[in-house]
């Protein structure tokens, strides 16, 4: 009888140990290849949750966090992405710091839910390119239909998503569509206002960094690719390497690359500081091409005539001083070289 009793106790203990224990936290761990030396990863959401995870010198990290199930952002100090977190899960994050989005991979519980966020970013990169804005209205709409279909196909790959899992993603998708559509419509209206072949507005006696001054008429007989920029404009500066590469590629060809700064006191604090910011950046970055300083920044006649209220903005003018494009492709866009080639430049 005693042996039967002992057997019953052992059985109960075994069954008790086999029962899974629900944890009120998520375990997060991972490895960063080509670790950039950041001291921590920050995990946060729009509800005010914020937590730091220390990164070891070898690029590994590990922690437990109590969360409310849902979408969070994790940031390694340079790059950021969404991640799905839920208590009682174990989530692994692995990525190459030098190739963040392409290498980012989640494994562990509900990894498919986190990985779908990465694929959403990759879809944006595939469909929402600069070339989208160079398309006709029909071309824009067709591209967005294809993008929406790909996005819906991606959503179907997630197993047993919570009811509101795609709520934020869907809202963001529609908001991006609205913004892109409005921007594209504005561009079409701009191109209609400044059709190809129309005589270009002109600028006169803009100071040249290398000395003297230039007017648009000085470049008659050549195509003129005009870059409207400012030292405080991040997107402008991101185009600089591509612009420098183009200038080298087309050096000696029938085209002049002209950059016009619209630095002003409202951003820099005073006209003198704006002017010095321009001079210093041209010098420090050794910018090539023709570097000019506009006479009245955004209030310059040339800038206002082209209805420029946001930068960067690129213009292409033909050898006779007529407009080729009042909103030309950016230097980083493959469409620009195609345009140059089509013109025989």
Report strand pairing: 90-96 vs 105-108. antiparallel
CB 201 within 8 A of CB 305: yes
Q: Which one-letter DSSP state was computed for residue 199? A: B
Catalytic residue of the set 26, 81, 216, 233: 233
Neighbouring-strand partners of residue 291: 259
Distance CA 69, CA 197 (A): 58
Catalytic residue of the set 53, 55, 97, 236: 236
Specify whether the backbone of 52 is left (phi greater than 0), alpha (psi in -120 to 50) or beta. Answer: beta
CB 262 within 8 A of CB 294: yes
The sheet with strand 213-214 has its strands ordered as 213-214, 206-208, 290-293, 255-261, 223-229, 313-317, 323-325
Distance CA 30, CA 95 (A): 8
CB 217 within 8 A of CB 320: no
Q: Find the helix or strand (DSSP H, E) in which 169 lies.
A: helix 167-193
Catalytic: 17? Answer: no
CA-CA-CA-CA dihedral for 233, 239, 241, 246, to nearest 10: -140
Report strand pairing: 313-317 vs 223-229. antiparallel
Report strand pairing: 206-208 vs 290-293. antiparallel
Residues with active-site annotation: 233, 236
């Amino acid at each position: 009888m005693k042996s039967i009793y002992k057997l019953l106790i052992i059985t109960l203990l075994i069954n008790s140990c086999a029962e899974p224990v629900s944890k009120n936290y998520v375990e997060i761990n991972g490895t960063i290849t080509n670790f950039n030396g950041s001291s921590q990863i920050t995990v946060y959401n729009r509800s005010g949750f914020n937590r730091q995870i220390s990164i070891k010198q070898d690029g590994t990290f590990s922690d437990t966090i109590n969360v409310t199930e849902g979408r969070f952002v994790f940031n390694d100090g340079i790059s950021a992405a969404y991640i799905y977190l839920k208590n009682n899960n174990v989530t692994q994050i692995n990525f190459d710091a030098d190739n963040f989005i392409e290498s980012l991979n989640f494994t562990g519980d509900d990894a498919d839910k986190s990985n779908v966020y990465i694929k959403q970013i990759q879809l944006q990169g595939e469909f929402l390119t600069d070339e989208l804005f160079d398309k006709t209205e029909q071309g824009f709409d067709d591209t967005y239909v294809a993008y929406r279909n790909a996005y819906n196909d991606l959503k179907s790959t997630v197993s047993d998503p919570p009811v509101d899992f795609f709520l934020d993603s869907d809202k963001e998708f529609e908001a991006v569509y609205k913004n892109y559509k409005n921007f594209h419509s504005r561009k079409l209206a701009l191109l209609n206002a400044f059709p190809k072949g129309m005589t270009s507005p002109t600028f006169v006696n803009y100071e040249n960094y290398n000395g003297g001054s230039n007017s648009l008429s000085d470049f008659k007989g050549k195509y003129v690719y005009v870059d409207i920029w400012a030292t405080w404009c991040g997107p402008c500066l991101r185009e600089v390497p591509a612009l420098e590469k183009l200038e080298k590629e087309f050096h000696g060809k029938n085209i002049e690359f002209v950059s016009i700064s619209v630095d002003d006191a409202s951003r820099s604090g005073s006209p003198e500081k704006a002017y010095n910011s321009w001079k210093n950046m041209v010098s420090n970055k050794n910018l090539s091409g023709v570097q000019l300083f506009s006479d009245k920044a955004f209030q310059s006649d040339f800038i206002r005539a082209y209805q420029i209220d946001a930068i960067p903005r690129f213009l292409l003018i033909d050898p006779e001083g007529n407009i080729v494009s009042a909103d030309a492709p950016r230097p980083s866009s493959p469409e620009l070289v195609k345009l140059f080639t089509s013109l025989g430049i």
